[in-house]
């Protein structure tokens, strides 16, 4: 990811893979509807079997909702990273660098404690150009609001 001059976004700002989210939720709703309709239309199924069909469809829909959850919210105090099952709040000073290298499935944050945090809320899967713009915007915010080591 090149470091071109990027305007600093107004805060608060939320980054999320919108197209991926739309696809996941649409497929989940359609799948739930179809499986439920089939379970109701099949005369041979007993009521418990129908319930198990609907429950299974609901379970799959729940998994797709969970997969659509990731986002990144940046505000004056720092960044909240919402991944699949965990949410982590970071102060600006904790983030040293924002990385989105070619082939990466999502952004990674290099943190001041020496670890790296995956940020599933910015992923180039379906909307690569949008993900690159979002990563650049987050990088600009980190560079203007956080502390980072001096560049060589």
Provide the sign of the torsion angle of the four alpha carbons 112, 114, 117, 123, taken in this order.
positive
| Domain residue spans of the chain | 21-67, 70-145
14-68 residue pLDDT tens: 999 888 899 999 999 999 999 999 999 999 999 999 999 999 999 999 999 999 9
Residue 3 is encoded by which pair of tokens?
A: 């470091």
CA atoms within 13 A on the CB side of 96: 11
pTM: 0.79
Q: What is the CATH number of domain 70-145?
A: 2.30.29
Average pLDDT, the chain: 89
pLDDT at 103: 85
What pairing do the DSSP bridges indicate for beta strands 116-119 and 95-99?
unpaired
């Amino acid at each position: 990811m090149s470091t071109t001059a990027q305007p600093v976004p107004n805060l608060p700002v939320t980054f999320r893979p919108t197209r991926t989210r739309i696809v996941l939720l649409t497929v989940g709703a359609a799948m739930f509807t179809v499986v439920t309709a089939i379970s109701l239309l099949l005369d041979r199924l007993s009521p418990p079997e129908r319930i198990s069909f609907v429950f299974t469809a609901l379970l799959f829909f729940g998994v797709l909702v969970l997969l659509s959850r990731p986002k990144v919210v940046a505000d004056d105090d720092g960044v909240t990273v919402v991944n699949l099952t965990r949410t982590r709040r970071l102060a600006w000073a904790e983030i040293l660098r924002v990385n989105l290298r070619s082939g990466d499935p999502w952004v990674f944050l290099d943190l001041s404690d020496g670890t790296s945090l995956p940020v599933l809320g910015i992923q180039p899967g379906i909307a690569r150009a949008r993900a690159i713009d979002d990563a650049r915007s987050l990088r600009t915010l980190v560079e203007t609001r956080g502390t980072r080591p001096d560049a060589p």
